[in-house]
């Protein structure tokens, strides 16, 4: 899975160690090995602030999303993973790259995300949704022709989430 996700050897090794910790704590009982493996990779990425969406891990693992999510929650709760909150700015480079947008849009989206991080907008909101709103708003300001649905699907959020975060961002 780590190879399919193009993760570094150090992230892979940390994920293996996390998997072994889960195994020694008897957390595999009642869960699939694939789900715990995928959750270990996702948990390691979260601990290292690597902007990986759980959907990316699910695709590589070929396991149902709910199984991976439940396994991750178990690992996080039982092993007390030191996962800092994800920041919207960490998702922007990936979104810009996948949407093939230019550097000016990236710069403006980062400015908007940094401004949002200083407010209550990022508290309790999905960081990929805030990042998507920043990218969409920056693209609109620069005159790029891109739809809300394209940005939302790339960020793996709903159009409603994107629109709500955009409206909140404009109010800040």
Query: Which domains, and CATH codes, for the chain?
Result: 9-79 (1.10.472.10), 88-171 (1.10.472.10)
**Number of neighbours of residue 99 by Cβ within 10 angstroms:** 18
| pLDDT tens by residue, the chain, 172 residues | 888 888 899 999 999 999 999 999 999 888 889 999 999 999 999 898 887 888 888 888 888 999 999 999 999 999 999 988 888 888 899 899 999 999 999 999 999 998 888 777 777 778 889 999 999 999 999 999 999 999 999 998 999 999 999 998 888 7
* Non-local CB neighbours of 9 within 8 Å, separated by 6+ positions: none
- As a whole number of Å, the end-to-end CA separation of the chain is 40
Distance CA 48, CA 11 (A): 8
């Amino acid at each position: 899975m780590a190879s399919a996700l193009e993760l570094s050897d150090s992230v892979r090794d940390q994920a293996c160690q996390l998997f072994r910790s889960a195994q020694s704590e008897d957390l595999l009982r009642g869960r699939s090995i694939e789900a715990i493996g995928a959750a270990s990779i996702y948990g390691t990425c979260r601990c290292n602030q690597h902007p990986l969406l759980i959907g990316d891990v699910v695709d590589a693992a070929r396991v149902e999303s709910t199984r991976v999510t439940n396994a991750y929650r178990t690992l996080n709760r039982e092993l007390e993973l030191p996962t800092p909150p994800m920041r919207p700015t960490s998702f922007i480079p990936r979104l810009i790259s996948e949407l093939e947008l230019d550097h000016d849009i990236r710069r403006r989206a980062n400015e908007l995300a940094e401004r949002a991080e200083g407010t209550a907008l990022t508290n309790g909101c999905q960081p990929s949704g805030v990042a998507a709103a920043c990218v969409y708003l920056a693209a609109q300001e620069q005159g790029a022709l891109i739809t809300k649905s394209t940005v939302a699907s790339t960020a793996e959020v709903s159009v409603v989430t994107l629109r709500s975060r955009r409206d909140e961002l404009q109010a800040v």
